[in-house]
Amino acid sequence: MKFLRRFFTRLRNLATRRTDDERLREEIEEHIALQTAENLRAGLSPVEARRQAMLKFGGVEAIKEDYRAERGLLFIENLMRDVRFALRVLRKSPGFTAVAVVTLAMAIGANATVFSVMNALILRPLNVPEAERLYQLFRGKDKAGNQSFPDYLDLRDRNRSFDDLVGYGATEAGLDTGANPSSAWVLLVSGNYFDGLRLQPHLGRLFHPSDEQGANSAPYIVLTHTYWHTHFHDDRGAVGRVVQVNKHPFTIVGVAPEGFHGTLVFFSPDFFVPIVNQEQVEGENDLNERGKRWIFSVMGHLKAGVTPAQAVADLNSIGAVLEKSYPKDDNDMSFTLARPSLYGDRLGAPMKAFLTGLMLLAGLILLAACTNLGNLFAARAADRSREVALRLALGAGRLRILLQLFTEAILIALMGGTVGVLGSAVLLRALSVWQPFTRYPIHLQVNPDANVYGVALLLALASGLLFGAVPVRQVLRTDPYEIVKSGSLGRAGRRITVRDLLLGVQIAICAVLVTSSVVAVRGLVRSLHSNFGFEPRNAILADTDLRMAGYRDDQIPAMQKRMLEAVEAIAGVESVGLVNPAPLYAGSVSGLVFTDKTADLRPANAAAEVFLYKISPEYFHAAGTALLSGRSFNWHDDKDAPRVAVVNTEFARKIFGSVTDAMGGYFKRDDGTRVEVVGIAEEGKYHSLTEDPQPAMFLPFLQSPSSETWMVVRSSRDSQQLAPAIRNTLGDLDSGLPVYIQAWTKEMDHPLFAARMATLSLGVLGVMGAMLSITGVFGMAAYSVSKRLKELGIRMALGAQRKEVLQAALGRAFQLLAFGSAAGLLLGIVTSRVLAFVVYQATPRDPLVLGGVVFAMCLLGLLATWIPARRALSIDPMRLLREE
Amino acid sequence: MKQKTDVLQGTLALMVLKTLDVLGPLHGYGIARRIEQISGDLLAVNQGTLYPVLLKLEQEGAVASDWGASQNNRRARFYRLTREGRKQLQVETQDWEQTAAIIGRFFEAKAEDLS
């Protein structure tokens, strides 16, 4: 208690120091005056009286010192003094301060940004209770997340490891609330979905297992909080309203809790519908189809005390029973568990790898910045060696001087960190509202939280300590006598110092970054001009789903034919084709095919799994896909005609052995139908740009109808003008049909997204690395020139040529640049092999890459050494020698 | 070094408290004189050490101080004992007497008493 009280009084005293000093001075004066008077009365002379009084009082300064120590907190007081002094010093050299703060701000900002994304996507648990025990089921060797509904029911009811298993599928549906019909993203969820995830409604009620009373028994909607907010304007009266989903009446029964948008972190659906109403939403009823694995994800909380390994064993034993009971539909029914937030390893693994890579690079940037600032600080410490020497000579402790230097470093670190975090917060906010694919509800909710700010603060402090520590040895070794005597020592070091090494490493790091970003950019540019097996330029994609407007069965192909004819009649349209789905579109569809000789059509006997496209006769023409031999379809290839297909060359090779054998040959599909190959098309890219050649087959849409409709409209007319014309034409056919129209090149954003993001990130990091290197080399060169000004002046006076002067002044900087760049280039070539996984055709074996990197590094060197070189060349030896 | 000042401060503080208890409010010089008179030469030099002790006591709340006029009509800082100070003095006096008694007995003890 006593101690606390003293502490607080002392704390308060910090503020009132000046008046207290005054008080002591007055008391001392009074004391001595009284003693002097006493002494006078004792008969001493006035001078002697005062002398005796002072002697008796003791050392005034020592007592003042004691008094101060008693009164305040010496440590805080010193710290404040250091901070004030540091601020004054920094204000005196605004250039240095600005460079240091900006350098650090960039580095800390980069780290905060990358960490925030990592935090949001990987580290932060899902926004549901007890997320740490929530696992998603993955099936088989390929770790597929999708399941069929009957399998889901068996897994749910027979397992003894999970509290409950919930499942959902995702789809797009037309929502008509009375105003204009629009398409929305729907999660078809099992009745126990919300109960299983332990969620409570924000408003109204959520679904319960009791809602499920057979197919189409639960026409209810639960809105996400976001959709309720944006489309119903927080209207509490929305609950209870009846709206049309694909022309079926559904009742809105509730609103999900705020912040819950499903269990995939980046996917934000608009509303939830019970899974038993699949037929009304998706147009087909697969509730009893064991072979149709359309349930996107199945997950549940592990029971208390059950380990994931035990749960897997439990699931595997159920899987074995299912395999035995349903050999036709179920095989490879072994299970693994993983987190649902990024769909297990499917997206999680590449995302983690990418973000870890980015984090590593950001870390390197921070290291480079620290190296840089360490250099600058060392240079400054050397410049201030006279000041340090003077303070040492006057009796300052080395510790106090070091503390002073560290205070400066930490101050800069904090300022840089603050600026960096502010910058990254702005960037992250923009990233959070950004929708990379307008077509899909993909949101990256990466707003920074307390974790991010904490990490940024720690990083700032750590880097402050790191670069503040660089000049420590220098200060500890300072010999005040030598320095004050001889002035700053312009020793021309021939030795390679640690500082040189650090800078070399930094240049190398920068070269690595520049190399990989050049490789990425080149790969991206090349992939934009590579052959996809279709031509996205001068083509528009218009897509809709006829189901959304209530079309059924035979109405669908008839309507599709009408749509094709109507759009073809628009002026300027060269050709129109229908394809489902559009290739390189996120949701590629594949099917199993068997050789004609295979009798037992179980999945294990399949010859291949191939991409499957349902097209209209005109599609190849409209898409610009080359037909290598045979014919395309015609309008007679309908459901009454024999089944036919056009396959690509990879298909022909894989199933038939060669292209010539394939023409006119037959294969079987998983339902047993024999299909004749009537044409061979060129290969293309179907799922991703980086894929190897994949087998694909095209089927006439009249023989395999589907309500999903993608129209490829080829025209040399501007897509901006054509799009409204297409919209009007289709609107005339059916005003209740939501259509999405976009240039095909725009649609290519999806497959190119990963590559673009990688390139952008690398580019940003590369630019940062380059800027850091420039400041680093600049600092070093400028320092070297100013240190050796006198020597250079003498050299010039003795007749040195410009070249020799430059060599003397900047030789070391150029050497470092050359060695660093070479090392970085080599390292960059090695690391950019990794890039090939993300960016199509990224290869460092490319003269342009090599040339680009060398050019960039030369430019960087030139920029960094320009000013110091000018200064070295403009030395006037006469004036310089006169000055000293 | 540190130890010595602490002991000195402790005894000094006790003397200050006792002085104020006996004589009522006093300024620094008055306290110093009084202690000098009684203790002989403990404060004959370094009278100034009194001031940090006074400050410490004030921060602990044992004494309070105000400006007042000294006998030659100059501004002086007068210290007086607070209620808490009086309590502290009581406790510390007891402690001190106890310690002194123990030490005294210890010194008086002869070899045969300890065996």
Question: Which pLDDT band holds residue A165 (cuts at 50, 70, 90)?
Answer: very high
pLDDT at residue A167, as a whole number: 94
CB of A331 within 8 A of CB of A73?
A: no
- Compute the CA torsion angle A275, A280, A284, A286 (nearest 10 deg): 20
Mean pLDDT of B64-84: 83
CB contact, 8 Å: B84 with chain A? no
Mean pLDDT, chain A, rounded, equals: 84
Place of tokens 């008179």: B37
- The verdict on a CB contact (< 8 Å) between A34 and B61 is no
User: Could you tell me the pTM of the whole model?
Assistant: 0.66
Pinpoint the alpha helices (H) of A187-342: 193-196, 225-231, 278-282, 308-325
Express each pLDDT in A711-743 by its tens digit: 999 998 888 889 889 988 988 888 878 888 888
Chain A residue at shortest CA distance from B78: A27
Position A771 pLDDT exceeds 60: yes
Q: Look at A455-459, A477-481, A601-605 and tell me which has the smallest mean pLDDT.
A: A477-481
- What is the 8-class DSSP label of residue A341? T
Per domain, the residue ranges of chain A are 2-72, 74-125+347-489, 131-340, 496-533+748-884, 539-747
Express each pLDDT in A208-225 by its tens digit: 999 999 888 999 999 999
Rounded Cα distance between A228 and A804, Å, is 74
* CB-count exposure of residue A418 (10 Å: 0-12, 13-18, 19+): middle
* Higher per-residue confidence, A190 vs A492: A190
- Compute the CA torsion angle A739, A745, A750, A751 (nearest 10 deg): 140
Chain B residue at shortest CA distance from A60: B48
Please work out, in degrees rounded to the nearest 5, the angle formed at the alpha carbon of residue A638 by the alpha carbons of A636 and A644: 90
- Compute the CA torsion angle A654, A655, A661, A666 (nearest 10 deg): -160
Question: Which pLDDT band holds residue B113 (cuts at 50, 70, 90)?
Answer: low
Chain B residue at shortest CA distance from A58: B46
Mutation choice for A interface testing from B26, B51, B63, B74 by most A CBs within 10 A = B51
Place of tokens 């006037």: A876
Rounded Cα distance between A561 and A567, Å, is 10
Q: Which of B33, B49, B61 sits opposite A63 (nearest CB)?
A: B49
Place of tokens 């597929």: A144
Hey, CA dihedral for A284, A289, A292, A293, is it positive or negative? Answer: positive
- DSSP lists the bridge partners of residue A669 as A593
- DSSP lists the bridge partners of residue A299 as A136, A166
Rounded Cα distance between B86 and A680, Å, is 109
Position B86 pLDDT exceeds 80: yes
Question: Percent of chain B having pLDDT more than 90?
Answer: 8
Measured in degrees and rounded to the nearest 5, phi and psi for residue A165 equal -115, 130
Mean pLDDT of A687-714: 88
**CA-wise closest residue to A354 among A830, A758, A828:** A758
Mean pLDDT of A611-620: 92
CB contact, 8 Å: A113 with chain B? no
pLDDT at residue A489, as a whole number: 47
Rounded Cα distance between B94 and B87, Å, is 11
Nearest-neighbour CA in chain B from A14: distance (Å):
14
- The verdict on a CB contact (< 8 Å) between B74 and A24 is no
Domains of chain B: 2-114 (1.10.10.10)
The top-scoring range by mean pLDDT among A191-205, A737-751, B13-27 is: A191-205
Query: How far is the CA of A797 from the CAs of A14, A171, A198, in angstroms?
Result: 58, 82, 85
Q: Are strands A248-255 and A203-204 parallel, antiparallel or unpaired?
A: antiparallel
Express each pLDDT in A484-503 by its tens digit: 665 544 454 556 677 778 77
CB contact, 8 Å: A24 with chain B? yes
Between A and B, how many residue pairs show a Cβ–Cβ distance under 8 A? 74
Which residues of chain B are within 8 Å of residue A40 when distances are taken between CB atoms? none
**Residue A11: its H or E element:** helix A2-15
CB contact, 8 Å: A63 with chain B? yes
Q: State both tokens at A657.
A: 């052995």
- The verdict on a CB contact (< 8 Å) between A60 and B48 is yes
